[in-house]
Amino acid sequence: MLTLDDTSELDELYQEIILDHYKRPRNAYLLELKDVSGEGINPFCGDEVRLTLSIDNNGIINQVGFNGQGCAISQASNSILSELCKGKTIDQLNVMIGQFKSIMLGKTVTLEEEQGLGELQALFGVKRFPIRIKCALLAWATLQDALDNYQTSD
Ligand code: ZN
């Protein structure tokens, strides 16, 4: 299990954002009335995340809740994700998931795409630490599975 030292080589500003989300996670509760839910684990690190979303009649995500436990990177990623979800459509979320994955797997994306990911940029430095990439991607992979299930069961 990790300690905060895992972020020590990340840039200072980014480290602050990650620690802030880790210590004060946003939307850290599960919704009772939910349209989409999912859970994921990263056995390499012991990280766990659970996500719930509700979607309005226009297909916009209007409520998000999550909880979980594990390292700072996995939990910060979960918290940042929860903020990015609100007000988006499923299609928009799928695009964001694809962009973030591409970046973490070392592919190049445009500056505009990077900036569109907001505070998530704080996690880009994690790609220099291959063992932690799964920590950063756990919430996103979990969300993608949950959205896929939602769309196929619709
Ligand atoms: Zn982790």
Question: Ligand 1 centroid to 49 CA: how many Å?
Answer: 11
Question: Ligand 1 centroid to 58 CA: how many Å?
Answer: 35
Nearest to 138 by CA among 55, 62, 43, 63: 43
Question: Ligand 1 centroid to 72 CA: how many Å?
Answer: 7
For residue 3, give Cα distances in angstroms to 83, 130, 139. 24, 17, 19
Nearest to 129 by CA among 104, 112, 154: 104
If DSSP codes are grouped into helix, strand and coil, which group holds residue 124?
helix
Question: Ligand 1 centroid to 16 CA: how many Å?
Answer: 17
Tens-digit pLDDT profile for the chain (154 aa)? 344 555 555 678 888 999 999 999 999 999 999 999 999 999 999 999 999 999 999 999 999 999 999 999 999 999 999 999 999 999 999 999 999 999 999 998 899 989 889 999 999 989 988 899 999 999 999 999 999 999 776 5
Question: Ligand 1 centroid to 138 CA: how many Å?
Answer: 9
Question: Ligand 1 centroid to 54 CA: how many Å?
Answer: 27
